[in-house]
Amino acid sequence: MQKKKVTARIPSGFLELLPKEQIEFNKMFSQIKETFELFGFLPIETPAVELKDVLLAKGGGETEKQVYRLSAKTGETDMCLHFDLTVPLARYVVQHMNDLTFPFRRYQMQKVWRGEGAQKGRYREFYQCDIDVIGTFCPLTDAEIPSVIYEVFQKLKIPKFTIGLNNRKFISGIFETFCPDSLLTDFFRIADKLPKIGVDAVRDELLNLGISLDDCDFLIRALSFQGTYSDLEDMFPDWKNANQLVRDGMAELESVYNGILAFGVPADYMRIDLGIIRGLDYYTGSVYETTLDEYPKIGSICSGGRYDDLCGYYTDRNLPGVGISIGLSRLFFQLKEAGWLDSSRSSTADVLVVSAEKAALQYSMQIANQFRRAGINCEVYLEDSKLHKQLKYADSLGIPYVVILGSEEMESGKIVLRNMITGLQALVLLPDAVREISGLKEPAVENRS
Amino acid sequence: MQKKKVTARIPSGFLELLPKEQIEFNKMFSQIKETFELFGFLPIETPAVELKDVLLAKGGGETEKQVYRLSAKTGETDMCLHFDLTVPLARYVVQHMNDLTFPFRRYQMQKVWRGEGAQKGRYREFYQCDIDVIGTFCPLTDAEIPSVIYEVFQKLKIPKFTIGLNNRKFISGIFETFCPDSLLTDFFRIADKLPKIGVDAVRDELLNLGISLDDCDFLIRALSFQGTYSDLEDMFPDWKNANQLVRDGMAELESVYNGILAFGVPADYMRIDLGIIRGLDYYTGSVYETTLDEYPKIGSICSGGRYDDLCGYYTDRNLPGVGISIGLSRLFFQLKEAGWLDSSRSSTADVLVVSAEKAALQYSMQIANQFRRAGINCEVYLEDSKLHKQLKYADSLGIPYVVILGSEEMESGKIVLRNMITGLQALVLLPDAVREISGLKEPAVENRS
């Protein structure tokens, strides 16, 4: 009796790639990792699973609704999948406090899960690539974080982007100059929606708070500011006479803005943007968002900021820090949609060794070993197939070179090297083949710009 | 009011590493990945989450008990975490059939989850590193798989190991020579326990099946065989007159054994081991286990085999294949316990740039950029701290070099390079510093042997 077949499919809202896309994704992943390490960030990896009371120590809000709970027949029901890498970091830092050196500079690149309603480019499982520096108030650290991101995106060769910088103290101070600070949370909630709902709707909501029309317009003009630090000084010439928050925020903005330049980020890749709010609580100083100049609709592809107290739910010790996160799965999807992915390679193999006759198979295996020893990714076609079928296999996988071996080659010691793109082939010595194939290593990096 | 603190901890049975251990783990991970690609295997990654009916299509047994089910307030309850990478591979191959080229050679390195009872070195979340070749009966593929593993373990520089090879057809044929094949499943179940329960207990259980004492002893002698293909021929001189299963199995063993040698695996790294059973069903031809010669108690660190029909639960199309899996988390733990890990580097940074005076900080950032452009992982100490505190930071992180900059260095254009291991320091030009620091790249690879 034939058993009924189950339809092969994945849950909705989950991303799965074909091998050639996976190669592109993995390349981006490696380049991000290498750049984080270039700045001396240390890797950590936390379990995907955290205890419920630890993960939801803060509790409430969307997060708790979206968290995936686990249950197994053999036991516990008190576990959840993590929904970001920040809560696990806070837990990690407290748990391993005595084994860490501060300032603790860590990177972490893992999947996270959120039971969100599925929509295009939004996933229930996605990669976050985070860096954070814990245990320092130094504003230069706030400047270093975006400079790392600049280097990452340069390495990824993504289209022109702008790193936006704001400071929560400054914008709070501006608000509190003429509004009661009890309304600050409401202000942030409304201001955060500006890009979505537009100026008029924001003005209406601010008016509803009891703010005067003039003040509303001033606040909206402030939130709409984008420019250099010197532009900002022009806009707020009297800032030195303003309240403490404004003065502190302005001083931080100056340090961080100039620090980012000192780290080598070109001025046209960054701007101060007072409209960057980043949610209602959590951040206490610098905040960042990064947007692609030509694809503004994508929104921020990399965001973060400074927080005064990372680990407050787990310890009395005050641990300030600053961090940023790249939503890699989403970025990958968006770049793919925009046709901006490097798809120059659809195969890991640089060369396929094929046998024109069965007697050459063992020789093929030896030649392949020599390619591998030279650092060339090499596959051998092992099945006893006609030559045209073997070439077709290389072609459909996008393997750029094929080496063809038969009894003549076994005698002469030379090999036939075929360039699968041009279709040209030549009888060459192995070291010459190695040299030619090595020439195509990492071509994508050069081809793009 | 002070809020009660939650204790920072992870669920039992989960592995979490300190940064310096994570560096070692990640190095192993990269080396495995590189070796898989050296043989032209293609990367895939499947969601951690599969639909219940897909994941448990086979159903029953320990697996179903150990699977973690997911639930979220916003929706579905029909999802589970995958417990291996083989079921997801089967599903992937069927789902993406028309976009894949066969034979499909894929590698996959991901976490899997099992709700097992926690015990030392066993984890509920662990990495599997799998390679499989789908859509071929070619016995040379059965030989290639262990040869990839040989190269992986050479690259990892793990202690001397032996790849054991058996063939399920052969051992089934031997059994069916004088026992009814209805008892074969029981025989496998009992034979699988030989290393655990010993010869006497196995003999008793076989006798209970109704097998004669002589036959029991012959079977146990067969199961205890370990040797070369030629030793095997000596032990079964009449195999050509035996049943079809014995003859087919023997022919496959010969092809695979000699194939492994042809792929360049030294003879003392492999042996035929008729005691390798690998569970009750699933495998239909070659089976492999790999053990560390000096640490037999660890058991198999890498296992796999050939199966006739990978995707039977999802499609009528017959897809034979062969694969192997490295249990990386467990291997890492065991190598660590045995003191066999490469702990030569506890930092990602090759050099820390420190400022002897505050005025040098901006210069430090520029020098750091130059190191990075030369491909050297470089961190800048950004806080305004005393020199000895900065050196202590480098020391506690195990950063091997420190560059010290002050106003003299800013004027002279030379930099002070301090070797943190020897404590020696010298005033050198930047290119000389780059040369010296580059010399320590990848030292671990050479130091071990």
pLDDT in tens, B200-249: 999 999 999 999 999 999 999 999 999 999 999 999 999 999 999 999 99
Least confident of A76-85, A201-210, B24-33, B268-277: A76-85
Q: Give percent of chain B above pLDDT 70.
A: 95
Contact A95 B8 (CB under 8 A): yes
Q: For residue B279, give the DSSP letter.
A: S
Please tell me the distance from the alpha carbon of residue A306 to that of residue A310, in angstroms, as a whole number: 9
**Stretch B142-171: mean pLDDT:** 97
How many CA atoms does the CB half-sphere of B126 hold within 13 Å? 23
Shortest CA gap B59–chain A (Å): 12
Contact B378 A38 (CB under 8 A): yes
Query: How large is the C-alpha radius of gyration of chain B?
Result: 28
Q: How many pairs of residues across A and B have Cβ atoms under 8 Å apart?
A: 292
How many CA atoms does the CB half-sphere of A141 hold within 13 Å? 28
Contact B314 A6 (CB under 8 A): yes
Which residues in chain A have their CB less than 8 angstroms from residue B151's CB? Answer: 372
| CA neighbor of A388 nearest in space, from A413, A418, A409 | A418
pLDDT recorded at residue B178: 84
Residues 6+ apart with CB under 8 A from B229: B253, B254, B257, B258, B272
Residue of B nearest to A30 (CA): B30
CA angle B228, B232, B237 (to 5 degrees): 145
Residues 6+ apart with CB under 8 A from B9: A51, A54, A91, A95
| Predicted ipTM beyond 0.90 | yes
Cis bond upstream, residue A103 (ω within 30): yes
**Stretch B347-359: mean pLDDT:** 95
Please tell me the distance from the alpha carbon of residue B105 to that of residue B145, in angstroms, as a whole number: 10
Looking at mean pLDDT, say which of A180-184, A344-348, B180-184, B390-394 comes out highest.
B390-394
Which residues in chain A have their CB less than 8 angstroms from residue B64's CB? Answer: 73
Which residues in chain B have their CB less than 8 angstroms from residue A6's CB? Answer: 53-54, 57, 313-314
> B24-41 as b/e, with b when 16 or more CB fall inside 10 Å?
bbbbbbebbbebbbbbbb
Sheet order of strands, B351-355 included: B378-380, B351-355, B401-405, B415-419, B425-428
**Higher local confidence (pLDDT), B373 or B344:** B373
Shortest CA gap B25–chain A (Å): 10
Q: How many CB atoms lie within 10 A of CB B440?
A: 17
Within an 8 Å CB–CB cutoff, is residue A355 touching chain B? no
Contact A19 B42 (CB under 8 A): yes
Within an 8 Å CB–CB cutoff, is residue A85 touching chain B? no
Please tell me the distance from the alpha carbon of residue B314 to that of residue B94, in angstroms, as a whole number: 7
Angle between helices B361-373 and B430-438 (to 10 degrees): 50
pLDDT recorded at residue B159: 93
pLDDT recorded at residue B2: 57
Which residues in chain B have their CB less than 8 angstroms from residue A141's CB? Answer: 382
Helix (H) or strand (E) holding B49: strand B49-51
| Digitized pLDDT (tens) for each residue of chain A, 449 residues in all | 456 899 999 999 999 999 999 999 999 999 999 999 999 999 999 999 999 999 999 876 777 788 999 988 766 679 999 999 999 999 999 999 999 999 999 999 999 999 877 676 679 999 999 999 999 999 999 999 999 999 999 999 999 999 999 999 999 999 999 899 899 999 999 999 998 899 999 999 999 999 999 999 999 999 999 999 999 999 999 999 999 999 999 999 999 999 999 999 999 999 999 999 987 678 999 999 999 999 888 889 999 999 989 999 999 999 999 999 999 999 999 999 888 887 777 899 999 999 999 999 999 999 999 999 999 999 999 999 999 999 999 999 999 999 999 999 999 999 999 999 999 999 999 999 999 999 865 443 333 33
Q: Three-state DSSP class for B212?
A: coil
> A64-91 as b/e, with b when 16 or more CB fall inside 10 Å?
eebbbbbbbeebbeebbbbbbbbbbbbb
Of A10, A15, A382, the CB nearest to B138: A382
Residue B153: C-alpha distances to residues B177, B415, B438 (Å): 38, 41, 26
Residues 6+ apart with CB under 8 A from B328: B25, B28, B29, B32, B109, B126, B127, B128, B129
Q: How many helices (H) and strands (E) does chain A have?
A: 17, 17
| CA neighbor of A261 nearest in space, from A235, A228, A232 | A228
Within an 8 Å CB–CB cutoff, is residue B345 touching chain A? no
Residue of A nearest to B117 (CA): A74
Q: Choosing among A44, A68, A350, A354, which should be mutated to test the B contact, i.e. which has the most B CBs within 10 A?
A: A68
Within an 8 Å CB–CB cutoff, is residue A14 touching chain B? yes
Shortest CA gap A445–chain B (Å): 15
Within an 8 Å CB–CB cutoff, is residue A421 touching chain B? no
Q: Three-state DSSP class for B130?
A: strand
Q: Read off φ and ψ for residue B54, nearest 5 degrees.
A: -75, -50
Burial of B51 (0-12, 13-18, 19+ CB in 10 A): buried
Q: Please give the sequence-ordered ranges of beta strands (E in DSSP) within B135-266, or none if there are none.
A: 161-167, 226-227
Q: How many CB atoms lie within 10 A of CB B98?
A: 5
Q: Choosing among B4, B16, B306, which should be mutated to test the A contact, i.e. which has the most A CBs within 10 A?
A: B16
Asked whether A325 and A304 are in contact (CB, 8 A), the reply is yes
| CA neighbor of A188 nearest in space, from A165, A166, A214 | A166
| The pair of three-digit structure tokens given for residue A263, joined into one six-digit string | 């780290």
pTM surpassing 0.90?
Answer: yes
| The pair of three-digit structure tokens given for residue B49, joined into one six-digit string | 């989450």
Residues of B numbered 381-400 whose beta carbons fall under 8 angstroms of chain A's beta carbons: which are they? 382-384, 393, 396-397, 399
Please tell me the distance from the alpha carbon of residue A301 to that of residue A292, in angstroms, as a whole number: 8
Within an 8 Å CB–CB cutoff, is residue A111 touching chain B? yes
Contact B19 A106 (CB under 8 A): yes
Residues of B numbered 152-211 whose beta carbons fall under 8 angstroms of chain A's beta carbons: which are they? none
Which residues in chain A have their CB less than 8 angstroms from residue B41's CB? Answer: 348
Contact A372 B38 (CB under 8 A): yes
pLDDT recorded at residue A137: 94
Please tell me the distance from the alpha carbon of residue A379 to that of residue B39, in angstroms, as a whole number: 5
Residues 6+ apart with CB under 8 A from A190: A202, A205, A206, A209
Burial of B367 (0-12, 13-18, 19+ CB in 10 A): buried
Angle between helices B244-262 and B139-156 (to 10 degrees): 40
Within an 8 Å CB–CB cutoff, is residue A56 touching chain B? no
pLDDT surpassing 80 at residue B344: no
For residues B290, B292, B296 and B298, what is the CA-based torsion angle, rounded to 10 degrees? -80
Angle between helices B213-223 and B184-191 (to 10 degrees): 60
Using CA of residue A197, residue A199, residue A202, residue A207, what is the dihedral sign? Answer: negative
pLDDT recorded at residue B64: 79
Least confident of A416-420, B57-61, B372-376: B57-61
Within an 8 Å CB–CB cutoff, is residue A68 touching chain B? yes
Within an 8 Å CB–CB cutoff, is residue B122 touching chain A? no
Residue of A nearest to B373 (CA): A38
